[in-house]
Amino acid sequence: MVRQKKPFAVPPLAKMTRSLALVASGRRSPDLILRAARVLCPYTEAILPNREIWILGGRIAAVKPQGSAPPRWGRREYDVRGGIVAPGLIDPHVHIESSMVGACAYAEAALRNGTTTIFCDSHEIANVLGRRGIEWMLEDARRSPLSIFLTVPSTVPATNDRMETSGGRIDRHDVARLFDRFPEAVALGEKMDFVAVAAGHPQTHAILGEALRRGRPVCGHIYGEEFVAAYAASGITDTHEAGEGKIALQMLQAGMWIFLRGGPPLTPWHSLPKAIEAVSRLGASPKRLCVCTDDRDPDDLLLFGLDWVVREAWRHGLSQPLGWSLGSLHPALRFGLDGEMGGLAPGRRADLVLLDDQGRVRNTWLGGELLVEEGESTPSLEKSLAARYRYPRSAYRTVRLPRRRLCPPRLPEGMKRFHLLGIEPPGILVRHRAVVASGHEILRRLREEDLCWLAVLERHGKTAEIAWGLLEGFGLLQGAVASSVGHDAHNLLVAGKRVEEMELAARTLESAQGGVCVVAGERILALVELPVAGLLSDRRIDEVAEAMRRLKAAWGEVGCRLPYMGFNLLSLSVIPEIRLTNKGLVLVPEMRLVPLWEESRAKGACRNRRGDQAVPKPTPSSASQRR
């Protein structure tokens, strides 16, 4: 295969210093001059009036006082008429897959949001397809009109084979190979198994070692102050999971960078307003803060990009240049790339954004090439997107469900202790509710109250397990919902009150080879097809966003209170307190399985994390049905 050139590639600085110095000294003319700019400077945190920017070969040669260049000195000129020119945004933590598109399609939305670089952790596709999936996505990234770096997926599966079954897995050898083969692999991606890290599990630490001995930074994901020291001691130097000012402060004190995550305001992704209190209320320096998006539904990506997150940081008290710095210079510095990007300074890539006075993105230049103008894709960008990457055929055949029909467990007659998943807004944390009841009472509540079944179907054609749980507070009034994007192992999640509707939802996604759907009775109310690894569409972003908007409308119609993306986390066994995987119910902080119900006065009962319910030690799971 002929290796395609990266669109809008910029030669390495090592090869350009001479020509840039000559332009900067006025001895050679630039390719492009942006005239009449106010320049947002993240280094000093100021806005510099009356500047012009000289660009050569996709890099900045100089930022000079307005009028320094003689008329028509640049081969091209562009008058920004007093607008603010800022460095392109850099998103330090993104899972592209959450936006249900490939890297090329993601790039289009990112550019419209003023984002010119992302650090992506493709651990979703890795959970389905292993290292192959990561490599395909890197190929996709190389064809995309965006600078995309990889933070090598570190925790695939998120826990281990006893807790869940993933389609792919990444071991230390895969990590080493990715680092050694792909120069864009600049860091280890979020190490999520914080219990295993703190307990010193050898395999987990071997993966950390592969990054650290290559001098690569390690990204984190952590809940609970009791784990902070062990996490930091293991070489993990960032986190995007700081939900409160106090824990954010502790993590900063432990030497971690904090990525303030912003997202749609009513979702749990929007932890920025609380986390930023580490600075605004508790007085920490903001110099180790970044902003990030982490995950975005495709429709939300167009509304709540990283530019929106920066504006949220402004709204919470940061100055315009400091807030923008959290999304440009600081992420570049965190990954040691501040000589290459993150500021509007000589030698750096000419990744630029033109803002209006409200900080909304009007234009975006990537490597000196204008790709978005007044919010619209330019012909250059359209041409690049038309030639986007196609995933190989085997990526389109990944949903292999158990053959048998769904059949929930027969509930017991006497009083038992049931372990329920309790939904509480905003919904990242799921409460562990232990309820003493008879099977009869549970069935009544399934009919009459806000309780429904949740099933997880192993979908990689490996174990054919179906696990059952009970979901309290999900809000579903009728019908069923299903998703093949069940973080992180991406087994199939189905929720419903009636098994027939659940069956229809599951088989609909099997036919589509992945996606998310809402059904009611015998009708499919909405379906977003995600045929690539059961995670991604192969369409462009606007089309997928529109399908997602229709799906969300249907999602609301059947009563679901938990947003779609929160639903996908119900099987993510690294977020407290309780999750359902294909293996059954997982109590996350103790990292152990419990059955759906057990004797109400079981021996060896121990206290759960909230301490208000006695939860027995594990017995062989009755919540998991085997073929």
| Sites of contact with a copy of itself (CB under 8 A) | 12-15, 17-25, 27, 41, 43-46, 48, 59-64, 197-200, 202, 205, 208-209, 212-213, 215, 217, 229-235, 237, 249, 252-255, 278, 283-285, 287-288, 322, 333, 336, 338-339, 343, 345-348
Q: How far apart are CA 615 and CA 74, in angstroms?
A: 72
Handedness of CA 536, 537, 539, 543 (dihedral sign): negative
CB 319, min distance to a copy of itself, A: 10
Q: Which is nearer to a copy of itself, 328 or 363 (CB)?
A: 328
Q: Which is nearer to a copy of itself, 117 or 165 (CB)?
A: 117
CB 214, min distance to a copy of itself, A: 9
Q: Which is nearer to a copy of itself, 198 or 615 (CB)?
A: 198
CB 217, min distance to a copy of itself, A: 6
Sheet holding 584-587, edge to edge: 578-581, 584-587, 592-594
Q: Which is nearer to a copy of itself, 230 or 524 (CB)?
A: 230
CB 64, min distance to a copy of itself, A: 7
Question: Three-state DSSP class for 205?
Answer: helix
b/e map 23-55, b = 16+ CB within 10 Å: bbeeeebbbbbbbbbbbbbbeebebbeebbbbb
Distance between alpha carbon 590 and the CA centroid of its chain, in Å? 25
CB 126, min distance to a copy of itself, A: 22
Question: Three-state DSSP class for 176?
Answer: helix
CB 122, min distance to a copy of itself, A: 23
CB 53, min distance to a copy of itself, A: 11
Tell me the DSSP string of 373-396: ETTEE-HHHHHHHHT-----GGGG
CB 440, min distance to a copy of itself, A: 44
Strands 597-599 and 415-423: antiparallel
CB 237, min distance to a copy of itself, A: 5
Would you say how long the chain is, in residues?
627
C-beta of residue 78 within 8 angstroms of C-beta of residue 378: no
Instruction: State the maximum Cα–Cα separation within the chain, in Å, rounded to a whole number.
Output: 90
CB 119, min distance to a copy of itself, A: 16
Q: Which is nearer to a copy of itself, 352 or 580 (CB)?
A: 352
Q: How many CB atoms lie within 10 A of CB 389?
A: 18
C-beta of residue 125 within 8 angstroms of C-beta of residue 152: no
Q: Which is nearer to a copy of itself, 17 or 50 (CB)?
A: 17
Residues 6+ apart with CB under 8 A from 486: 456, 492, 493, 568, 570, 571
* AA identity, residue 17: T
Question: Three-state DSSP class for 473?
Answer: coil
Q: Which is nearer to a copy of itself, 352 or 525 (CB)?
A: 352
CB 231, min distance to a copy of itself, A: 8
C-beta of residue 89 within 8 angstroms of C-beta of residue 307: yes
Q: Which is nearer to a copy of itself, 264 or 346 (CB)?
A: 346
Q: Which is nearer to a copy of itself, 251 or 309 (CB)?
A: 251
Q: Which is nearer to a copy of itself, 153 or 286 (CB)?
A: 286
Joined together, the tokens standing for residue 393 give 């055929």
Q: How far apart are CA 117 and CA 92, in angstroms?
A: 8
DSSP letter assigned to residue 50: E
C-beta of residue 584 within 8 angstroms of C-beta of residue 505: no
CB 469, min distance to a copy of itself, A: 30
DSSP letter assigned to residue 355: E
CB 537, min distance to a copy of itself, A: 36
Q: Which is nearer to a copy of itself, 331 or 514 (CB)?
A: 331
N-to-C CA span, the chain = 43
Q: How far is CA 430 from CA 262, 264, 268, 476, 600, in A?
A: 20, 19, 11, 16, 22
Q: Which is nearer to a copy of itself, 20 or 492 (CB)?
A: 20
Q: Which is nearer to a copy of itself, 227 or 396 (CB)?
A: 227
Q: How far apart are CA 215 and CA 480, in angstroms?
A: 48
Q: What region does 422 belong to: left with phi over 0, alpha with psi -120 to 50, or beta? A: beta
Tell me the DSSP string of 232-301: HHTTEEEES---SHHHHHHHHHTT-EEEEE---TTSTT--HHHHTHHHHTT---GGGEEEE-B---HHHH
Q: Which helix (H) or strand (E) holds 416?
A: strand 415-423
Q: How far is CA 448 from CA 70, 411, 445, 515, 518, in A?
A: 78, 17, 5, 29, 21
CB 338, min distance to a copy of itself, A: 8
Q: Which is nearer to a copy of itself, 23 or 105 (CB)?
A: 23
Q: Which is nearer to a copy of itself, 240 or 348 (CB)?
A: 348
CB 44, min distance to a copy of itself, A: 4
* AA identity, residue 50: N
CB 9, min distance to a copy of itself, A: 16
Q: How far apart are CA 604 and CA 589, in angstroms?
A: 18
Q: Which is nearer to a copy of itself, 52 or 529 (CB)?
A: 52
